[in-house]
């Protein structure tokens, strides 16, 4: 993919394709999600041209940069520009995290354990080291991805008496290594985000030409306990893959007791071509204090997203609090097919663990 021009459709709607003149691999959309679309030539050895089906009036292609070859090994450095392969937004890498990926689809050969009381089978799953990245999302793309992915998904406990108060950092995301499609740009400010120039400095002698400022290093060190990504859990049921990433947010005192807070990010992906719609959620939340809570409700975060071949993924974040320093969660999502039939998709069990080195929650984006 090195040397191929990366372009984006600036208006919503329409279907743009990168088509091989030789027909080697056929049309291949880089991103099937809604909003501005980015498309990538399917191979590097033949010429490409961009074409569309039923091209709407007023569509404009803008050159963003030049694609680089995605890294199969190693990791991307601070300042790397990229397009998100699923949600299609422009972004820049701030720094990497090393996470343990627990994939129940590739569980070990050991026999399954007995079913737990909730009826959710327990498999022996070994964690595999995987790289994720803390990134900034280009503010120009946030309106176009807001229906598929929250752009204020990273939240913190506010540092005052109200233990339930949260504040969010807009345009901050976590991205898996395989979701990054790297590119280069000659623009000295290629990403529009209020923190871009506070965190990164342009240096044409470097590759990538954006290096971390001291403010980024200080912010990373100060907020490390609440930004850190450690465990990722994944499981697929009937071609619907659920990925869960829990984050410990901190402990607050409320009514003479300790309340521990976590946020969790969930991504739903339809790996099939059939259209399905999320209708219900069913959670079981176990606390070390001995309580087991059941939560049922319509959809998630007030939505009932449709997952299709064109828009296969939906990502959201939510929060949970316990009056104990640890616990775990599991459950199911109920989906509906076009014929009206339903099926349940398992949410992989994940632990809620508090950090051993408790620190004061951050007070905000001030240095």
Distance CA 327, CA 244 (A): 15
Distance CA 99, CA 232 (A): 7
Element (H, E) at 196: helix 196-199
What's the pLDDT at 167? 74
The answer to whether the CB of 50 falls within 8 A of the CB of 39 is yes
What is the distance, to the nearest Å, from the Cα of residue 360 to the centroid of all Cα atoms in its chain?
Answer: 27
The answer to whether residue 116 sits within a structural domain is: no
What's the pLDDT at 244? 96
The answer to whether the CB of 231 falls within 8 A of the CB of 251 is no
The answer to whether residue 30 sits within a structural domain is: no
Q: Which residues contact 91 (CB under 8 A, 6 or more apart)?
A: 81, 82, 83, 84, 135, 136, 137, 138, 173, 175, 191
The answer to whether residue 222 sits within a structural domain is: yes
CA atoms 357, 288, 125, 312: torsion sign = negative
Per-residue confidence in pLDDT tens, the chain, 367 aa: 445 555 443 333 323 333 322 233 333 333 333 333 444 433 333 333 333 333 445 556 678 889 999 999 889 999 999 999 999 999 999 999 999 999 998 754 444 443 344 444 455 678 899 999 999 999 999 988 988 987 776 777 766 555 456 777 889 999 999 999 999 998 999 999 999 999 999 999 999 999 999 999 999 998 888 888 889 999 999 999 999 999 998 888 877 888 899 999 999 999 999 999 999 999 999 999 899 999 999 999 999 999 999 999 999 999 999 999 999 999 999 999 999 999 999 999 999 998 755 545 444 444 3
- Eight-class DSSP state of 179: G
Distance CA 283, CA 333 (A): 9
Distance CA 304, CA 227 (A): 28
Distance CA 326, CA 93 (A): 31
Full-model pTM: 0.78
The answer to whether residue 277 sits within a structural domain is: yes
The answer to whether residue 140 sits within a structural domain is: yes
What's the pLDDT at 356? 53
Q: Three-class SS of residue 287?
A: strand
Question: In which domain, by residue range, is 235 found?
Answer: 62-107+128-353
Distance CA 221, CA 359 (A): 12
String of DSSP letters for 76-131:
PPTT-EEEETTT--EEEEEEEEEEEEEEGGG--SSPPPPPPTTS--------EEEE
The answer to whether the CB of 21 falls within 8 A of the CB of 49 is yes
What's the pLDDT at 6? 53
Question: How many domains are contained in the chain?
Answer: 1
Per the structure block, which two tokens stand in for 288? Answer: 């070390």
The answer to whether residue 232 sits within a structural domain is: yes
The answer to whether residue 324 sits within a structural domain is: yes
The answer to whether residue 73 sits within a structural domain is: yes
What's the pLDDT at 124? 65
- CATH number of the CATH domain containing 152: 2.60.40.1470
What's the pLDDT at 165? 67
What's the pLDDT at 25? 34
What's the pLDDT at 50? 31
Per the structure block, which two tokens stand in for 326? Answer: 């640890």
Per the structure block, which two tokens stand in for 161? Answer: 């008496």
| Other CB atoms within 10 A of residue 222 CB | 15
Distance CA 259, CA 361 (A): 13
The answer to whether the CB of 145 falls within 8 A of the CB of 185 is no
What's the pLDDT at 55? 42
What's the pLDDT at 218? 94
Distance CA 247, CA 319 (A): 9
What's the pLDDT at 24? 33
Distance CA 263, CA 317 (A): 7
The answer to whether the CB of 38 falls within 8 A of the CB of 30 is yes
């Amino acid at each position: 993919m090195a040397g191929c021009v990366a372009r984006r459709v600036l208006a919503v709607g329409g279907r743009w394709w990168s088509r091989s003149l030789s027909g080697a691999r056929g049309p291949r959309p880089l991103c099937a999600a809604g909003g501005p679309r980015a498309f990538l030539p399917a191979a590097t050895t033949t010429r490409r041209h961009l074409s569309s089906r039923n091209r709407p009036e007023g569509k404009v292609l803008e050159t963003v940069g030049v694609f680089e070859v995605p890294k199969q090994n190693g990791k991307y450095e601070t300042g790397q520009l990229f397009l998100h392969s699923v949600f299609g937004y422009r972004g820049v890498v701030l720094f990497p995290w090393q996470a343990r990926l627990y994939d129940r689809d590739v569980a070990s050969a050991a026999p399954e354990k007995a079913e737990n009381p909730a009826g959710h089978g327990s498999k022996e799953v070994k964690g595999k080291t995987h790289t994720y990245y803390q990134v900034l999302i280009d503010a120009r793309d946030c309106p176009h991805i807001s229906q598929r992915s929250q752009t204020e998904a990273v939240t913190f406990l506010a540092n005052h008496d109200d233990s339930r108060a949260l504040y969010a950092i807009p345009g901050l995301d976590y991205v898996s290594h395989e979701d990054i499609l790297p590119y280069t740009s000659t623009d000295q400010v290629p990403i529009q985000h209020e923190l871009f120039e506070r965190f990164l400095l342009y240096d044409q002698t470097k590759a990538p030409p954006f290096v971390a400022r001291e403010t980024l290093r200080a912010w990373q060190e100060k907020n490390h306990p609440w930004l850190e990504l450690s465990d990722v859990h994944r499981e697929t049921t009937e071609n619907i893959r659920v990925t869960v990433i829990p984050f410990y947010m901190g402990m607050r005192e409320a009514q003479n007791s300790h309340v521990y807070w976590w946020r969790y990010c969930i991504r739903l992906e339809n790996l099939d071509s059939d259209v399905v719609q999320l209708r219900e959620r069913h959670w079981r939340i176990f606390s070390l204090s001995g309580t087991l809570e059941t939560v049922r409700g319509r959809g998630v975060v007030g939505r009932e997203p449709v997952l299709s071949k064109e828009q296969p993924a939906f990502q959201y974040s939510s929060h949970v609090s316990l009056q104990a320093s640890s616990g775990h969660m599991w459950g199911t999502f109920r989906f509906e097919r076009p014929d009206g039939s339903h099926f349940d998709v398992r949410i992989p069990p994940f632990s809620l663990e508090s950090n051993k080195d408790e620190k004061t929650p951050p007070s905000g984006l001030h240095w």
